[in-house]
Amino acid sequence: MLGYFALILWFLILIVYFVFTASIFYHFKKYSTSPARRRTFLGIFSIASLALFISNLVFFSRIPWKEISETLSTSIRGLGGF
């Protein structure tokens, strides 16, 4: 349950990131007057963005949601005891 909630949240954040990423590409492609600089900027931007996205994906897939969920529910039950 917690994992699905995080996935939806991450998905929503990624949509916002995607809108900004696409907009950066659009603006540089359409309005930049220097093709060489444009290529450099967009090249660096794409590679680093992709690397960040893949790292995010890898770490997200490694999160033990079931164990975290169990630990949290145990902690919450423990708090209820007080």
Partner 1 sequence: MFRINTNENILASYRRHWLMLFGDIFYIFLMALGIAFSAVMIKQFFPVAFSSLYLSLTIWFILLLYHGLWIAFFVKLADYWLDTWVITNERIIDVEQKGLFKREVSEFKLDKIQDVSVDVSGVIQTLFGYGNVQIQTAGSDRIFLFKTVPNPQEIKNKILKIHDEYMSTLNKRAN
Which residues sit at the interface with partner 1, rule CB under 8 A? 10, 13, 17, 20-21, 23-24, 27-28, 30-33, 37, 41, 45, 48-49, 52-53, 55-56, 59-60, 62-64, 67-68, 71
Please state the closest distance from residue 63 (CB atom) to partner 1, in A.
Answer: 5
Please give the DSSP secondary-structure letter assigned to residue 15: H
In angstroms, what CA-CA distances link 51 with 17, 23, 54? 14, 19, 5
Please state the closest distance from residue 79 (CB atom) to partner 1, in A.
Answer: 16
Please state the closest distance from residue 77 (CB atom) to partner 1, in A.
Answer: 17
C-beta of residue 18 within 8 angstroms of C-beta of residue 53: no
